[in-house]
Amino acid sequence: MNKIIECQNLNYSYNDGKNETSILNTLNLSVNLGESIAILGQSGCGKSTLLNLLGGIDKASSGKVLLNNTNLATLNEEQITKLRAQHLGFIYQFHHLLKDFSALDNVALPLLIRGDNKKIAMIKANELLTNIGLKNRLNHRPSELSGGERQRVAIARALITNPSCVLADEPTGNLDEKNAADVLSIMIKLNQVQNSALVIVTHDEKIATKMQRILTLENGQLNES
């Protein structure tokens, strides 16, 4: 399998004025195309911080994060943004959809931002939303959708660019059990169809068991179950 993300001796800490708090300690991780990974850990252990480092949103104190074999530390912000847009999709606990835009517009937006033809972008967004059961909700705004439907739209938006890796931070944490199961099923299906990597940060062991690998973040390091 091809490696899409790699962390080498990753360290992250922050200062709160007087004291330095260490979050990640010489952490190592490899993520391959087509595989699914769950990262478990107690609240506040650094799971979301790790995801932000993988996505180039935060910067490591030391060590390397390689995205498609490129060391993020060697790039400026514009270059990181471009690389991130080429290879990554993000899904969060809260959908962060644009409230004045339809489901179709929200999903097509990443393609339009990168300069794709508008007609083609709309066709792709339509197809993806239809594939995840939202054919009759294309022109609805987020306020007109249920929580589960909004999260499906967010998933479609993350996947519309066919990213090499999807980073998901508690993507079902705001949903009831049925909607959570449906959303997770969609994510796994699209992960397999598109052969993208899927990294999910979660506190739910039921979700973790659906992934190919389960890692636990503890004392700043990852341990595989």
Distances (CA, A) of 119 to 55, 104, 111, 221: 29, 12, 11, 46
Q: For 57-73, what is the mean pLDDT?
A: 90
pLDDT of residue 1: 55
> Which of the residue ranges 15-19, 41-45, 46-50 would you say has the lowest mean pLDDT?
15-19
CA distance 107 to 122: 8
Distance between CA atoms of 201 and 52, rounded to whole angstroms?
11
Domain that holds residue 87: 3-224
Model pLDDT for residues 143-180, shown as the tens digit of each residue = 999 888 888 898 888 888 888 899 998 887 777 787 77
Query: What is the C-alpha separation between 146 and 167, in angstroms, rounded?
Result: 23
In this predicted structure, the answer to whether residue 44 has a pLDDT above a threshold of 80 is no
Kindly tell me if the per-residue pLDDT of 199 is higher than 90: yes
Q: How far apart are CA 110 and CA 104, in angstroms?
A: 11
- 86-117 tens-digit pLDDT: 888 888 777 678 889 999 999 999 888 888 89
Tell me phi and psi for residue 87, to 5 degrees. -120, -15
- Weakest mean pLDDT among 57-71, 75-89, 168-182: 168-182
Domains held by the chain: number: 1
**Number of other CB atoms surrounding residue 19 within 10 Å:** 7
- Joined together, the tokens standing for residue 183 give 């959303």
Question: Mean pLDDT throughout 69-73?
Answer: 91
pTM score? 0.85
Q: Cα angle at 223 between 222 and 224, to 5 degrees?
A: 125
Contact 182, 30 (CB under 8 A): no
Q: What does the alpha-carbon distance between residue 101 and residue 105 come to, in Å, rounded to a whole number?
A: 6
Of the candidates 201, 100, 114, 210, the one whose C-alpha atom is nearest the C-alpha of residue 160 is 114
CATH number at residue 183: 3.40.50.300
Instruction: Confirm if 49 and 12 have CB atoms less than 8 A apart.
Output: yes
Question: Which helix H or strand E contains 112, and what residues bound it?
Answer: helix 103-113
Determine phi and psi for 138, rounding to 5 degrees: -55, -40
